[in-house]
Amino acid sequence: MSLYIEARIRADLDDLWARTQEPDRHQRWDLRFTEIDYLPRQEGEPQHFRYATRVLPFLAIAGTGVSAGEKRRPDGTRTSALRFSSPHPLSLLEEGSGYWRYVPAPDGDGIRFLTGYDYRPRWGRFGKAADRVLFRPLMGWATAWSFDRLRLWLERGITPERALWNAVAEAAARVLCVLAAVLLAPMTAIAAAALMLFLPPLPTTPAARRCLRTPPERARAPHVLATLTTLTTAKEQRS
């Protein structure tokens, strides 16, 4: 099952494009990546890149990918597509592909920034089970949380670093409230835990729940993704 995430961001389209297409900005808000670096390319070829995710202080899982974008389309939208893979033996994600769409709202109220992507897990049956039960839901949550983090940066000027601290502080405060209920009024501990779990996050804290996670009926990958696959395959055959 492919993943779909959509956020409504009230910001300038060029600003949104820059903060999602420039590697040094992208890696600041996207929880899925620690480093993103573009590799040298020749004119007319898609952009190759290298990425890494630090899962422990001493362990980073790296991979490579290729991307292409359409910054100017007749309908006023923009698209970006990519293919990616990781040869790291500890990476559950073996290879995949996806896209971003930037769709200005017809009423002028912001931009629909959305993504759809899928990947193939490694490790055989165990990998498929782990992906279905744990990894894929985690990836969906991380993508949605990151999209809302990006929205706060563009709409409110809250930097990704500050947004992370806001999230940590709010989570700590909620845990302390539950612990206080356990110590001071044990009979209310379950109610307190439920309240802290379902209470809406603060407006300055990123939240995955603010994003749409169900794709529209007509959602489909952009044409540039198929073109990217063709270009990449042709280059691999020549090398």
> Of 229, 223, 231, 224, which Cα lies nearest the Cα of 45?
231
Q: With H, G, I as helix, E, B as strand and everything else as coil, classify residue 235.
A: helix
Q: With H, G, I as helix, E, B as strand and everything else as coil, classify residue 210.
A: helix
Average model confidence (pLDDT) across the chain? 87
**E strand residue ranges, the chain:** 3-9, 35-38, 47-56, 59-70, 78-85, 93-104, 111-121
Specify burial of residue 14 (Cβ count, 10 A radius: 0-12, 13-18, 19+): exposed
Task: State both tokens at 143.
Answer: 């993508």
For the domain spanning 3-157+208-238, the CATH number is 3.30.530.20
pLDDT digits (tens, 9 = 90+) for 176-228: 888 888 887 777 778 878 888 888 999 999 999 999 998 877 666 666 676 66
Residue 238 pLDDT more than 60? no
Model-wide pTM > 0.85: yes
Residue 236 pLDDT more than 60? no
| Residues 227, 17 contacting (CB under 8 angstroms) | no
Give residue 235's pLDDT band: very low, low, confident or very high (50, 70, 90).
very low
Task: State both tokens at 198.
Answer: 């379902």
Domain boundaries, the chain: 3-157+208-238, 159-203
The pLDDT of 24-45, averaged and rounded, is: 90
The pLDDT of 125-147, averaged and rounded, is: 94
Residue 231 pLDDT more than 70? no
Task: State both tokens at 80.
Answer: 């970006």
pLDDT digits (tens, 9 = 90+) for 40-51: 887 777 889 999
Residue 1 pLDDT more than 60? no
Q: Which residue has the higher pLDDT, 17 or 71?
A: 17
The pLDDT of 29-49, averaged and rounded, is: 88
Largest separation between any pair of C-alpha atoms in the chain = 71
The pLDDT of 86-101, averaged and rounded, is: 91
Give residue 233's pLDDT band: very low, low, confident or very high (50, 70, 90).
very low
- Residue 106 has what pLDDT? 84
The pLDDT of 106-116, averaged and rounded, is: 90
